[in-house]
Chains A and B, each alone.
Chain A
């Protein structure tokens, strides 16, 4: 469109983002082969809470709508049930694509308006600290932070978990936590250098 002031012609942006997502997905995602049939969107137990259905997200990736895709709640609402993955007629590795989109969004600090990224981050910081996770404590923390109104209702459950011995007070710290941190640091470096995987041509 001459004089419209648009940055890149859409044709350039489109392919680029699709390629970026494919490259960020482990293995062969087959994302380029999606036929937009909607089997994924029909299968998804979380579809109602997503701002776009999985299928729509893939169409947007192809259309090069990078910003909208990275800000979408869709991948964060994915529960990894793999219903879509086993039903997709094109064998697109849908949950893996969801992870890839989340990871790109995380790296760029573009987050949707959802508590999901925060939960992931808290979870991960626990792992960094202990090498193990601390599920129940984590859940409590997350509820305090994001759903304080639910807490009174949840109290009996919390009490039950404690009295029934199902809620430790601090997680066990593994011996090799230093080694683990070194491994994760190296992985992060490698990822930054873009050496995570061979990018298909």
Chain B
């Protein structure tokens, strides 16, 4: 433990440090263009709560959050377990087409590589 943080009794984990100035948000912008309803998400978490693949770590709210932060590596790992069953879309109170987002995300990530 070092520096100022000590004084306040907490510190920041290096791996969770997000620099919102330099993160890569291009993907989420493209996605929001492809599926405009993504912008109405208010991170309520209903999608994650109902997810069929939640035991495998899938959680759409989390994916969306990570996308906004630009943490693509983690996103790529998580969405592999999505079964595209569409439950999340059906429960979303904001009518976000979550399934379409994941589907397009898979394709986008593939195109990036």
The yes or no verdict on A and B being binding partners is no
